[in-house]
Structure 1
Amino acid sequence: MTTGGGADGEALAGGMVNAGAVFRRGALVERPAPPHAPALHAHLLALKEHGFDAAPTPVGLTADGRERLTFIPGDVALPPFPHWVMTAAALESVGSLLRRLHRASVAVAVGTDTEWPRDLADPEGGTMVCHNDVCPDNVVFRDGRAAALIDFDLAAPGRPLWDVAMAARYWVPMLDPVSAAALYPAGPDVSARLRILADSYGLSPGERAELPTVIEQTTESCRAFVARRVADGDSVYLRALAERGGWKRWDRIQAWLAAHRETFTAALLDRPPG
C-alpha cells in the first residue's frame, strides 16, 4: 500500500472521500468512522467468525469520530493502474475473493434497525450485506492475487449479483474504449474478461443472463452518486468529473453498455450473439 511519512503516522494513499485522512500507526489503521460504524464493525467481526479473514478487524472507535482497524499488508493499485492489476490471474482472484465474502456474509444476520448507506446500495435491497465498492483501490494484493478487501464504508444489504456487477464495472472494466483508455491503456477484451469474472465467481446461467442489465443499473446508480456529490459542491467530485470528460463520458458509457448488452450476454452464456 502506498504510504507517506508524517507526524501523525503514515498517510495511506488512495480513495476519494477519505483522501488524506487515513493513517497507519504500526499494526493499526485510523480513519474517519462512518455514521453506522458500530453496526459495520459488528458485521466485520461476524464475517471473521464465519471464516472470512480477508478484511480488516475492527479494534474500536475514538472519541473524535475515528475508527481503528487492523492494517492489512500488501499492494493496492492506484490509477493509472499498473499492468499486474489487469492480468487474468488478478481478475480471477477478485472473483474468487468476492465469492468467499458472500459465502460468509450470507450467514450473518442483517439488523433491521441499522441505517446502512444507500449511496451505492442495491435499490432492490436484500438480506445479505454487500461490499458495493470492490474497485482496485479497495483490494489488497499479494504476489499478484487478491488477498483482502478494505473500505467497507458503502457496504449495505443487497443481491450478490449487484456486488458482482459493481466489481465488473471496475475490474473488467465495463467502460467504452475511449473511457477505458484513460485508466487501462492496454485495451482489455471486455467480453473475455467479463466471462473470467463470472467463471471465477461461479455465477449460475440465470445470473449470467441477468448480469449485463444489472451492470447497466449499477452504472446508473454510480452516476446518480456522482451527481449528488457534485450538486453538494464536493470539490473532489467536481474536479474528477471535469478531468474525466464530464457528463458526456457518462452518456457515452451508458449508451455503449446498452448497445453491447446482447454481445456481453452471449459471451457470458457461451453462445453466438443475436
Structure 2
Amino acid sequence: MPGHQECEVPLEGGFTNHGRVVRVGDTVRRPLRPSSPATHALLEHLERVGFGGAPRFLGVDERGREVLSYVPGTAVTPPYPSWALTDEALVSVAHLLREYHAAVAGLDPGPHPWPASPPPEFAGGLVSHNDLNLDNVVFREGRAVAFIDFDLASPGSRVWDVAGAVRLWAPLRPDHHVGDSRRGQVLRRLRLFVDSYGPSAADRDRLVPAVRCNHDWSYDIVGTAVANGHAAFARYWWAGGARRRATETQQWYRESADLLRDALS
C-alpha cells in the first residue's frame, strides 16, 4: 500500500454503498461486509485462472476497507450513452458473461459465507454474479471488458445470470418504461443476447421463468433495504418510481410469457 496520502475520488453508480466507494490512485476502496471473504476468494480464483474481466483483490487498507484494483474504462451510468445501447455492446456483454462462467466453474463455494443464493431451482451450478446492472459492466471502445461489484455473487447458475443480465440489458419491461433507442426492440434484443451467450437447450427452456423469478428476487432485495431505512434505495423506490415500475413489469411478464418464449424459439 502507498505510504502517503492520496486523493480519494468518489465513484458513481450503485445503491448499496452509495457514496462510500472511492478511487485512490490505481485502486478502489470499498466497505467490508460479512460476506467479503467469499467475494475475495472469488476474485482470487478469477485471477488464478487468468480471467481478466474482474478487479483484483489487493488486501485491506488501514481504515478497514477492501482494496481492489481499479479497472480502467467506462461503466454505464445514466444518462445512458448511445454506444452502450447498441447491439454490439449487448453482444459483448453476453460474450463476457460466457467467459466469466467458464472461468468461475472450477471454484468450490463450500467454505465461504456467501450472500443469499437465488431460489433453489436456479442455484447450485456455479457462483453467479447476480447483479449485472448496466453500471456494473466496464467498457472500453464500446466493448464490455469487465464486471465489477461482486457483492451479491453467490452459488447460483448460468441461466440465473443470463436471465438477470438480459432482463436489464434488453431491457425486458413494458415499452412505456423504455425511454431510449431500445424501445420497440426488447424482444429482438432478448433473442440476440441469448443467442450470443449460447445457453444449453435446457437453460434456454428455463429462461422465461428465470427472468420473472430474477425480477422478483432483485426487487425483494430493494424492498428489504428500503424497510431497513437505506436512504439511497428509498429514493429509488419511492421518488424514482421503482415500486410502480416493478409492479407493472411483473404484470407484463405474466401477460407476455408467450411472446418471450416465442422470441427464443
Q: C-alpha separation between the residues in 2 aligned to 1:36 and 1:80?
A: 32
Q: C-alpha separation between the residues in 2 aligned to 1:234 and 1:178?
A: 28
Aligned to 1:146: 144
Deviation at 1:128, TM superposition (A): 1.2
Alignment of 1:216-231 (within 5 A): 216-231=212-227
Alignment of 1:233-252 (within 5 A): 233-245=229-241, 247-252=243-248
SS at match of 1:54: coil
Maintained 8 Å contact 1:8/1:23: no
Aligned to 1:17: 16
Residues 92-128 of structure 1 show CA distances to partners (whole Å, capped at 9, x for unaligned) of 0000000000001111111x2422111xx31112141
Maintained 8 Å contact 1:208/1:265: no
Alignment of 1:1-274 (within 5 A): 8-110=7-109, 112-118=110-116, 121-124=117-120, 125-181=123-179, 184=180, 186-245=182-241, 247-269=243-265
Q: Which amino acid in 1 is paired with 2:115?
A: P
Q: Which amino acid in 2 is paired with 1:137?
A: D
Q: Which amino acid in 2 is paired with 1:106?
A: A
Q: Which amino acid in 1 is paired with 2:118?
A: D
SS at match of 2:20: coil
Higher mean C-alpha deviation, range 30-39 or range 257-266: 30-39
Runs of 4+ in 1 over 3 A off after TM superposition: none
Maintained 8 Å contact 1:10/1:23: yes
TM-score, normalised by the number of residues in structure 1: 0.89
Q: C-alpha separation between the residues in 2 aligned to 1:116 and 1:65?
A: 20
TM-score, normalised by the number of residues in structure 2: 0.92
Percent identity between the two aligned chains:
38
Maintained 8 Å contact 1:32/1:65: yes
SS at match of 2:77: coil
Unaligned runs of 5+ in 1: 1-6, 270-274
SS at match of 1:99: helix
Q: C-alpha separation between the residues in 1 aligned to 2:90 and 2:242?
A: 28
Deviation at 1:185, TM superposition (A): 5.3
Maintained 8 Å contact 1:172/1:188: no
Change (3 A) 1:79 1:157: same
Q: C-alpha separation between the residues in 2 aligned to 1:211 and 1:39?
A: 27
